[in-house]
C-alpha cells in the first residue's frame, strides 16, 4: 500500500551493508596497536628489539622480487616460446616449483641447491685451469660455500620460487594480448623479439601490474619463511626475542602488526593503481 | 626497372591447416604498379593467400618472390622483406598503448633505425597524406574506425613499402567511414603503388583495379579485368558468387 516505507527501510539496511566493517576492524586493530606501543613498556621493548629485523625483511623481499621479476619474465616468455627446448625447460621449472611446498623449496635451494652450484663452479674452475685459463679458473675453483651467506641464499631461494609464480602471470598477460598485435608488428618487419619488447610486453605488463603487485605483497609475507635459515628478518628476531624472554604474546603481536602494516599499505597501493589503470582504459 | 617488372610472383602455393586445405596451388604474378582486387566467398583462402605473400603464414609448399627476392626460411631476410610489404588488416590492429604518431614511428625507429625526429617527420607526412594530422597525439581508442584504419595505412606507408596488401580494409567500418578509407586507397593506386586488395567494394574494383581475381576453395578460379569479371563472368562459381553479393 505504502511504497515509501519499505524503500527507505531498504536504504537504511543498504547503508549498514555499505560500511566496510572489515576496514573499520583493521583501523581499530591499528589504533589499539598504537595505543599499546605508546603505553606498555613490555610492548615497547619487544618493538625495539624486533624492529632491527625490518631492514632485512624489506631488503630480502625487494631484492628477491627484482630477481623474481627477471626470472619470471624469462620463464614466462619461455612458456609461450616456439623454441621447444626453452619452452619445455620453462614448463619444467614452473611445474617443479609449484609442486613442492615453499618451505621445503627454501631448505632445498639454500642447503642443497647452493652447495651443488658451488661444486659446479669449482669443477668449472678446475676445468678452466687445466685448459690454461688459470687466472679465472683458480678464482672459481677457490669458491667455497662460505662465499654464499645465508641472507644471499634466502634471496636466491625466494627469487627462484617466486620466479615461477611470476612466470605464470607474465604468460597470462602476454596471452591476453590479441594475436593481431604480433601480426601487425611482424608485418612491419619487426622481429619476434622486437615486437614482443615494443608492442606486446608494454601492454601485457600493464594488464598484469595489479597481479604483480599482489604477488609482491605475498612475497613479503613468505619472506618470513627464510627465518628457518636463521636469517634475521622480523620473524626470526621475534622468535629469538620470544625464546629468550618467554614473552610470546608481546613478540608475536608485535611481529604480526609489523607484517600487517606493510601488507595493508602495499595492498592499498595496489588497489589505487588498479583503479587508475581501469580509468585509463 | 621497367613497367613490366614483376613485383610479386607466387608459384604453386599450398597452405594446409591440418585437415583444412586453405590454399590448393595458387599461381599469380603481379606487375609493378598494378592494383589487384581479390574476391571470393568466406573461407576461400583470400586472407591466407595475402598472409602467405609476406610469409606471415608460412606456406605448406610453394614459392614466393617479392621484387625478385625469394622468401626463404631465414628470419632476418624475411623481416627485411616484410618491411617492404605493407599490410592493412580488417580490424586495423593499431597498437593501443601508443598514440597515432607513435604507431607510425615505432617500426621506423626499430626496423629502419631512423632517429626520433626523422621518424616523426615522416610520420606526420603520412598522417597528412591520409588526412588526419590533427589526430597525431590521439590514442587509438579515441579514434573512429575510419580514422584508425587511416592511421594503420600511414603506419605501413611510413616504411616506404614497395607493395601494399589490404585484407578487407573497410568491412569492419560503418558505412559513412568506408569512403574516407577507400579515397586514401584510390590515391595510393593513382600514385602507382602495387596493391593487392581483398575487398567486396565493387566501386573500388571498377575504378582502381587493373585485374580482379575470384577465389574459391583455395584456388584462383577466374582472373581477368574488372569489367569482364563483373559483366561477363565465365565460371559458374563466379556467377553464383556475384549474384549473391549483388543481392545485398
Ligand atoms: N590459423 C588458422 N588455423 C586454422 N585454420 C585456418 C587458419 N587461418 C585460416 N584457416 C582456415 O583456412 C580457410 C581459409 O581461410 P581464409 O581466412 O584464408 O579465408 P577468407 O577467404 O579470407 O575468408 P573470409 O572472407 O571469411 O575472410 C578457412 O577454412 C579457415 O577456417
Ligand atoms: Mg579473410
Sorted by where each begins, the domain ranges of chain A are 54-280
* Of B56, B84, B96, Cβ closest to residue A186: B56
Query: Is B13:B5 a contact under the CB 8 Å cutoff?
Result: no
The side-by-side arrangement of strands in the sheet containing B219-224 is: B85-88, B163-167, B194-198, B35-39, B211-216, B219-224
Domain A54-280 is in which class?
mainly alpha
Measured CA to CA in angstroms, residue B123 lies from B126, B159, B162 at distances of 5, 10, 17
- In the predicted model, what is the mean pLDDT of chain B? 94
**Residue whose CA is closest, atom 31 of ligand 1?**
B43
Half-sphere exposure of B161 (CA within 13 A, CB side): 32
Question: Do the Cβ atoms of A189 and B94 come within 8 Å?
Answer: no
pLDDT for res A22: 87
**Measured torsion, CA atoms of residues B103, B105, B111, B115, in degrees rounded to the nearest 10:** -160
- With beta carbons under 8 A apart, name residues in chain B contacting A186: 56, 79, 82
Strand partners, B26: B13
Enclosing H/E stretch for B25? strand B20-31
Q: How far is the CA of B241 from the centre of ligand 1 (A)?
A: 18
Stretch A101-118: mean pLDDT: 93
Rounded Cα distance, A43 and A252, in Å? 10
Opening angle at CA B190, ends B186 and B194, nearest 5 = 90
CA distance A273 to chain B (A): 17
Smallest CA-to-CA distance from A237 within A60, A11, A9 is with A60
pLDDT for res B3: 52
* Of A186, A188, A198, Cβ closest to residue B159: A188
Query: Is A60:A151 a contact under the CB 8 Å cutoff?
Result: yes
State which of B46, B214, B241 you would mutate to test the pocket of ligand 1, scoring each by most atoms of that ligand within 8 A of its C-beta. Answer: B46
pLDDT for res A105: 95
Is B155 within 8 Å of chain A by CB? yes
**pLDDT per position in chain B (248 positions), as tens?**
445 689 999 999 999 999 999 999 999 999 999 999 999 999 999 999 999 999 999 999 999 999 999 999 999 999 999 999 999 999 999 999 999 999 999 999 999 999 999 999 999 999 999 999 999 999 999 999 999 999 999 999 999 999 999 999 999 999 999 999 999 999 999 999 999 999 999 999 999 999 999 999 999 999 999 999 998 899 999 999 998 887 65
Ligand 1 pocket member B46 (CB < 6 A)? yes
Lowest mean pLDDT among A141-150, A217-226, B124-133: A141-150
CA distance B115 to chain A (A): 16
Confidence of residue A124 (pLDDT cuts 50, 70, 90): confident
Measured CA to CA in angstroms, residue A38 lies from A29, A234, A256 at distances of 14, 20, 17
Output the CA torsion sign for A216, A220, A222, A227.
positive
CA distance B63 to chain A (A): 18
Residue with cell 599461381: B27
Interface with B, mutate which of A189, A204, A209 (most B CBs under 10 A): A189
Smallest CA-to-CA distance from B32 within B81, B73, B65 is with B65
Ligand 1 pocket member B245 (CB < 6 A)? no
State which of B21, B47, B90 you would mutate to test the pocket of ligand 1, scoring each by most atoms of that ligand within 8 A of its C-beta. Answer: B47
pLDDT for res A6: 46
Interface with A, mutate which of B69, B80, B92, B93 (most A CBs under 10 A): B93
Q: What is the CA radius of gyration of chain A?
A: 25
Tell me the whole-structure pTM to 2 decimals: 0.89
Query: Is B81:B66 a contact under the CB 8 Å cutoff?
Result: yes
Name residues 85-124 of chain B within 8 A of A (Cβ): 85-87, 89, 91, 93-97, 106-107, 110-111
Query: Is A60:A224 a contact under the CB 8 Å cutoff?
Result: no
Rounded Cα distance, B119 and A150, in Å? 51
Stretch A111-121: mean pLDDT: 89
**Total count of residues recorded for chain A:** 281
Smallest CA-to-CA distance from A207 within B97, B177, B180 is with B97
Query: Is A99:A118 a contact under the CB 8 Å cutoff?
Result: no
Amino acid at each position: 500500500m505504502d511504497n515509501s516505507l519499505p524503500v527507505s527501510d531498504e536504504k537504511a539496511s543498504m547503508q549498514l551493508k555499505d560500511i566496510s566493517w572489515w576496514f573499520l576492524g583493521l583501523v581499530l586493530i591499528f589504533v589499539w596497536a598504537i595505543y599499546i606501543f605508546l603505553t606498555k613498556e613490555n610492548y615497547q621493548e619487544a618493538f625495539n628489539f624486533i624492529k632491527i629485523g625490518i631492514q632485512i625483511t624489506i631488503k630480502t623481499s625487494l631484492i628477491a622480487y627484482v630477481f623474481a621479476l627477471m626470472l619470471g619474465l624469462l620463464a614466462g616468455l619461455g612458456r609461450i616460446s616456439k623454441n621447444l627446448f626453452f619452452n619445455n625447460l620453462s614448463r619444467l621449472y614452473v611445474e617443479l616449483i609449484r609442486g613442492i611446498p615453499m618451505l621445503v623449496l627454501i631448505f632445498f635451494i639454500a642447503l642443497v641447491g647452493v652447495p651443488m652450484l658451488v661444486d659446479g663452479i669449482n669443477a668449472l674452475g678446475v676445468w678452466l685451469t687445466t685448459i690454461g685459463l688459470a687466472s679465472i679458473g683458480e678464482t672459481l675453483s677457490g669458491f667455497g660455500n662460505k662465499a654464499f651467506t645465508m641472507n644471499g641464499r634466502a634471496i636466491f631461494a625466494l627469487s627462484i620460487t617466486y620466479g615461477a609464480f611470476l612466470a605464470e602471470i607474465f604468460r597470462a598477460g602476454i596471452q591476453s594480448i590479441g594475436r593481431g598485435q604480433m601480426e601487425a608488428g611482424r608485418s612491419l618487419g619487426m622481429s619476434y623479439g622486437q615486437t614482443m619488447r615494443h608492442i606486446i610486453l608494454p601492454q601485457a605488463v600493464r594488464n598484469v601490474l595489479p597481479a604483480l603487485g599482489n604477488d609482491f605483497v605475498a612475497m613479503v609475507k613468505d619472506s618470513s619463511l627464510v627465518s628457518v635459515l636463521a636469517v634475521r628478518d622480523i620473524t626470526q628476531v621475534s622468535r629469538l626475542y620470544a625464546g629468550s624472554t618467554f614473552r610470546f604474546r608481546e613478540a608475536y603481536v608485535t611481529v604480526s602488526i609489523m607484517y600487517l602494516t606493510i601488507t595493508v599499505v602495499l595492498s592499498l597501493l595496489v588497489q589505487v593503481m588498479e583503479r587508475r589503470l581501469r580509468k585509463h582504459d | 626497372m621497367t613497367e613490366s617488372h614483376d613485383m610479386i610472383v607466387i608459384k604453386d602455393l599450398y597452405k594446409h591447416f591440418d585437415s583444412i586445405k586453405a590454399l590448393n596451388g595458387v599461381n599469380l604474378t603481379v606487375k609493378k604498379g598494378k592494383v589487384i582486387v581479390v574476391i571470393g566467398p568466406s573461407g576461400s583462402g583470400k586472407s591466407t593467400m595475402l598472409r602467405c605473400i609476406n610469409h606471415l603464414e608460412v606456406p605448406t609448399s610453394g614459392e614466393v618472390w617479392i621484387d625478385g627476392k625469394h622468401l626463404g626460411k631465414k628470419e632476418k631476410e624475411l623481416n627485411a622483406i616484410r618491411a617492404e610489404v605493407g599490410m592493412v588488416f580488417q580490424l586495423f590492429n593499431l597498437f593501443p598503448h601508443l598514440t597515432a604518431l607513435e604507431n607510425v614511428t615505432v617500426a621506423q625507429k626499430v626496423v629502419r633505425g631512423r632517429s626520433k625526429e626523422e621518424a616523426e617527420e615522416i610520420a606526420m607526412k603520412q598522417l597528412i597524406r591520409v588526412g588526419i594530422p590533427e589526430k597525431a597525439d590521439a590514442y587509438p581508442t579515441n579514434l573512429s574506425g575510419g580514422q584508425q584504419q587511416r592511421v594503420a595505412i600511414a603506419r605501413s606507408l611510413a616504411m616506404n613499402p614497395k607493395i601494399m596488401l589490404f585484407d578487407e580494409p573497410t568491412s569492419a567500418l560503418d558505412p559513412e567511414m568506408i569512403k574516407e578509407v577507400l579515397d586514401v586507397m584510390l590515391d595510393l593506386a593513382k600514385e602507382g603503388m602495387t596493391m593487392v586488395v581483398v575487398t567486396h567494394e565493387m566501386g573500388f574494383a571498377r575504378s582502381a583495379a587493373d585485374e580482379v581475381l575470384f577465389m574459391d576453395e583455395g584456388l584462383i578460379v577466374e582472373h581477368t579485368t574488372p569489367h569482364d569479371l563483373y559483366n561477363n563472368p565465365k565460371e559458374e562459381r563466379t556467377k553464383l558468387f556475384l549474384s549473391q553479393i549483388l543481392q545485398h
